[in-house]
Amino acid sequence: MKDIKKIAVLTSGGDSPGMNAAIRAVVRTGINEGFEMVGSLRGYQGLIGGDIVPLHSRSVSNIIQRGGTILKSARCKAFYEIEGRKKAHHKMQAMGIDALVVIGGDGTFTGARLFGKEYGVPIVGLPGTIDNDLYGTDYTIGYDTAINTVMEAVDKLRDTASSHDRLFIIEVMGRDAGYIALTSGIATGAEMILVPESPTYIDEMLYMLEKDWKKNKTSGIIIVAEGDDSGGALEVEKEINNRFPEFETRLSILGHIQRGGSPTAMDRVLASRLGNAAIMTLKDGVSGVMLGMVDNKIDLTSFEKSIKHHQQINLDLLDIARVLAI
Ligand code: F6P
C-alpha cells in the first residue's frame, strides 16, 4: 500500500445522530497522527464532483453534541456505476487524497467495497445508521439515540391513549430490520411489536388484542416496524378497524424525527472510539473493513461480510415483551 499522507472522511446514506462525533474523532486523531485531513461533501457525490473541504482541529469544534452531519449526506446513485467511481478516483488523484474513511450503512459499504477492489484505494468504514442492521458491531452509531427518541414519543402517545381509551398503532423506521421496533417496544411496554424478522399473522394478532381487551385493558400501543410483512401501520389499523369497529384507534408514523437530535452519551462514545480506531487501522495498513464494537472491544469485519450477513435479532425478546404486557 502506498504511503498515506492525506485522508478524506465522508458521511453517506441516511444520516444518524453521532455522525458528527465520529467526524470529529476521525479528524482529530488523523491530525494527531500527522495526516492531512479533508472532508468530502454529500458523501461520494463530493468525491465525484471534487467538492472537498479542508478539515482542521477547529473545523470540528462544537459538533460532538449536534445531530445530522456537518459534511452533509446523500445516497449517490452515480457511485453505483463504474463511470461514477472512475470520476471519483480521478478527482482523488488530482487532489492528492490517498485514503478514505466512510461513515454510513450498507449502501455506503457496497460502494466502498467496489471502489477499494477496483482502484486499490485504502478505505475503512464506520457503521452510521439508526437501523442497527450491520453485521460486525453490537450497535451502530445513531441507533441508541433513535430508540430513545422513539421511546420519548411513545411515552407521550401513551399518555393521550390512556386518557381517551384509544389504541395507538405506531410505525417506526428500520428499513427491513426490526431493531428499533423491538427495543423501543420493550422500553415502552408496548402491547404488541411487529417486526420483519418474524411473520405477522393478522388473525393471531387480532385474537391477542381481543384477549387484552377482555382483561380490562382500555388503551394500548402497537409498534410496527416499517418493513414488517403486515404492510405497515396503516394496514394494521385497517385490519383492526374491520374486525373491531368498537375500538377507537389512532395512527402515528414517527418518520424522520427518528434520525435527528442530539446524540446520546452512548452514541457519542461509540462514535469517538470508532473514529479514533479508523485512523489507527489505516495507519496499520489495513483496508476494506468496517470497524465495529463487539463486547465493548473494537472489531474489524470485511465490507463484504458486514453487508451480506444481517445482524441477527434476538426473537426471544418478542416473547418476553408479550409476557410483560399481559
Ligand atoms: O437507513 C436509515 C433509514 O432512516 C431507514 O430506517 C429508512 O427506511 C430510510 O433510511 C429512509 O430513507 P430516506 O431518508 O431516504 O427517506
Nearest CA to ligand 1 atom 6: 174
pLDDT at 312: 84
C-alpha cell at 234: 396503516
- Structure confidence by residue, pLDDT tens digits, 87-124: 999 999 999 999 999 999 999 999 999 999 999 999 99
Residue nearest to atom 7 of ligand 1 (CA): 175
CA of 234 to the centre of ligand 1 (A): 18
- Residue 199 Cα to ligand 1 midpoint, Å, equals 22
Higher pLDDT, 292 or 311: 292
pLDDT at 225 over 80: yes
Instruction: Specify the ligand 1 atom closest to the Cα of 174.
Output: 6
For residues 229 and 112, give the distance between their C-alpha atoms in angstroms, rounded to a whole number: 31
Task: Judge whether 142 and 21 are in contact, CB under 8 Å.
Answer: no
Q: Which ligand 1 atom is the nearest neighbour of the CA of 105? A: 1
Describe the strand order of the beta sheet including 99-104 as a list of residue ranges: 52-54, 36-40, 6-11, 99-104, 123-127, 289-294, 297-302
From atom 2 of ligand 1, which residue's Cα is the shortest distance away? 14
| CA 134 vs CA 207, 215, 249, 303, 304: distances in Å | 34, 40, 34, 10, 11
Question: For residues 160 and 166, what is the distance between their CA atoms, to the nearest angstrom?
Answer: 8
What per-residue confidence (pLDDT) applies to 1? 57
Is residue 127 within 6 Å of ligand 1 at its C-beta? Answer: no
**9-21 residue pLDDT tens:** 999 999 999 999 9
For the segment 123-149, the average pLDDT, to the nearest whole number, is 97
Q: What is the pLDDT of residues 257-288, one digit of tens each?
A: 999 999 999 999 999 999 999 999 999 999 99
For the cut 70, the answer to whether the pLDDT of residue 56 exceeds it is yes
Ramachandran region of residue 105, left (φ > 0), alpha (ψ -120 to 50) or beta? beta
Q: How confident is the model at residue 183 (pLDDT cuts 50, 70, 90)?
A: very high
Q: What percent of the chain stands above pLDDT 90?
A: 97
Nearest to 147 by CA among 166, 131, 135: 131
d(Cα 122, Cα 305) in Å, to the nearest integer?
A: 17
- Active site residues per annotation: 131
Q: What angle do CA 42, 259, 174 make, to 5 degrees?
A: 105
Which triple of cell numbers denotes residue 78? 452515480
Q: From the CA of 144, how far away is ligand 1's center (Å)? A: 16
Contact (CB, 8 A) for 92 and 7? no
Computed over every residue of the chain, the mean pLDDT equals 97
Kindly state if the Cβ of 227 falls inside 6 Å of ligand 1: no
> β-strands 289-294, 297-302: how paired?
antiparallel
Residue nearest to atom 14 of ligand 1 (CA): 14
- φ/ψ (deg, to 5) at 246: -75, -15
d(CA 322, CA 231): 21
319, pLDDT greater than 90: yes
DSSP 16: -
- Rg of the chain taking only CA atoms, in angstroms: 22
Q: With a cut of 90, say whether residue 308 has pLDDT above it.
A: no
Testing ligand 1's pocket by substitution, the residue of 15, 131, 183, 184 carrying the most ligand atoms inside 8 A of its CB is: 131
129 lines ligand 1 (CB under 6 A): yes
CA atoms within 13 A on the CB side of 270: 30
d(CA 4, CA 121): 10
